[in-house]
Amino acid sequence: MTIARTLSGMLRGRSGPRFSGAAALVAIGVLAWTLALALWLFWLPGEQRQLAALQDANAASRAAVVRRSADLAARPPKASPGERFVGAFPAIDSRPQRVESLLAAATSRKLAWLRMDLRVGRDTLPGLVRYQVTLPLAGDYSALRGLVDAALQADPALVLDRLQLRRSTATATLVEAASTWSLYTREEPVIAPGTDVRRSTPP
């Protein structure tokens, strides 16, 4: 209001022909500048608040990204289908117990075995170790068949590679069998193919 009164006084005091036009222009310019300044001062706090809000949101977004990156870095990487396949196999330290289970199943069925050879197979799959079990057997045919069925059901990672039967005569009830099994485990630690791991004889 003070500025308006001053401008009004200037216009009334200089109402002569020489000053009326110039004074009016000056008054209009000053008034326009004053209004612009007032509007700027009026809107400045709001703009500052909006800018501060945007800065806060940006900082929160950056913090969320950092936390997300830290979480992802802390998580173990997702296993590939091949890794999940290998992970489904028994650990390598389960090998002695699995071999003993196979031999115990043969003994419980009164199948005679003179020796057992255990070697690391040469055609291992990536990430797996194949132990090759050579086990000559002798006994009743039904007992031999029962051993094969029970052993494969009890150990899903056991494979019967070879079973060769022989009878001394056509009427003989005793069957001799040359059996070769593959026992798969995860590869930990790495064992050179062809290594003679163990040679067992019946107790």
Instruction: Please report which helix (H) or strand (E) contains residue 173, including its range.
Output: none
What is the reported pLDDT for 180? 95
What is the reported pLDDT for 65? 56
What is the reported pLDDT for 173? 82
What is the reported pLDDT for 9? 54
pTM of the model: 0.56
Of the listed ranges 89-103, 163-177, 188-202, the least confidently predicted one is 188-202
Please state, in angstroms and rounded to a whole number, the distance separating the CA atoms of residues 203 and 170: 31
Going by CATH, does the domain composed of 85-200 fall within 3.90.1150.10?
A: no
Please state, in angstroms and rounded to a whole number, the distance separating the CA atoms of residues 108 and 75: 48
Tens-digit pLDDT profile for residues 73-132 = 666 667 677 778 888 889 989 999 999 999 999 999 999 998 999 998 765 678 888 999
Burial of 24 (0-12, 13-18, 19+ CB in 10 A): middle
Question: What letter would DSSP give residue 80?
Answer: P
Residue 181 — pLDDT band, cuts 50, 70, 90? very high
Record the tokens describing residue 145, joined without a space.
């068949």
Omega within 30 of 0 (cis) for the link into 81 = no
In the chain, domain spans: 2-73, 85-200
